[in-house]
Amino acid sequence: GATGETGAVGATGPTGPTGATGATGPTGATGPTNVNATLANTDAQTAVNATPLTLGTVVTNNGLTTANNSITVPDTGTYSISYGINEVTGANQNDYVEIAINGTGQTSTRRSMSSTAGVGGSYVLNLNTNDIITVVPTVTDSTQIGNTGGPSLTLTVVRLS
| pLDDT of 5 higher than 70 | yes
Give tens-digit pLDDT for 6-17: 888 888 889 889
Give tens-digit pLDDT for 62-99: 999 999 999 999 999 999 999 999 999 988 889 999 99
User: What pLDDT score was predicted for residue 79?
Assistant: 98
Question: Which pTM was predicted?
Answer: 0.81
> Coil, strand, or helix at residue 94?
coil
User: What pLDDT score was predicted for residue 150?
Assistant: 93
For residues 110-124, average pLDDT: 96
- pLDDT averaged over every residue in the chain: 93
Residues 6+ apart with CB under 8 A from 127: 73, 76, 77, 78, 79, 101, 133
